[in-house]
Homo-oligomer: A and B are copies of this chain.
């Protein structure tokens, strides 16, 4: 498969949102930053290769084979993202462009050994799950920190309240996007949380916890 075919397959996968509903030509064109006419051409080719199911004017879905290919590319993309952050000190918002290139390197051994080198990670720096070699993975969901069950871990992916005082508070307490947060315990009385972040235990109020989004697995 060519680099371009791989990018199309991956985009069709993401637009299919897991449930693999049909994806429109225009939607693909926008994500690929190309014209709908180019997408039509490519879809025809992918269809001939058995990667997508396609009926003219009716949109596309990934075939079983196409889904397998998509998951292997997603796996590579996310493993490389972990590598960049964990081993090369990239920050979570710098990795995408480079992973977009690295995901196309062809070598089964490379990706197996990279997985091992990284300690078989389950999630990438954005909290998204990494498919296994055989294509299995758990879904991830975005939850407010105060709704995350005790004992769960997640990646901080956003804020609900983006006011300067709140952001300043996060800064002061060294809580940043991309940080991994583990919910140790919850105080029934006032809803305050005991969390572990970067191996440090801290307590935060319900007010804080209800304004921070975490991406968690399952």
Contacts and interface: CB of A to CB of B under 8 A. Distances in A.
Interface of A: 84, 87-90, 94, 97-98, 101-102, 105-107, 109-110, 113-114, 116-117
Given A94-B109, A109-B94, A114 B101 contact: no
Contact of A98 (B90, B107, B117): B107
Contacts of A94: 109
A106 B101 contact: yes
Contact of A84 (B87, B97, B110): B110
B114 A88 contact: yes
Chain A contact residues, majority secondary structure: helix
Contacts of A106: 101
Contact of A113 (B90, B109, B113): B90
A84 B94 CA distance: 23
A160 to B, nearest CB: 32
Contact of A109 (B90, B102, B114, B117): B90
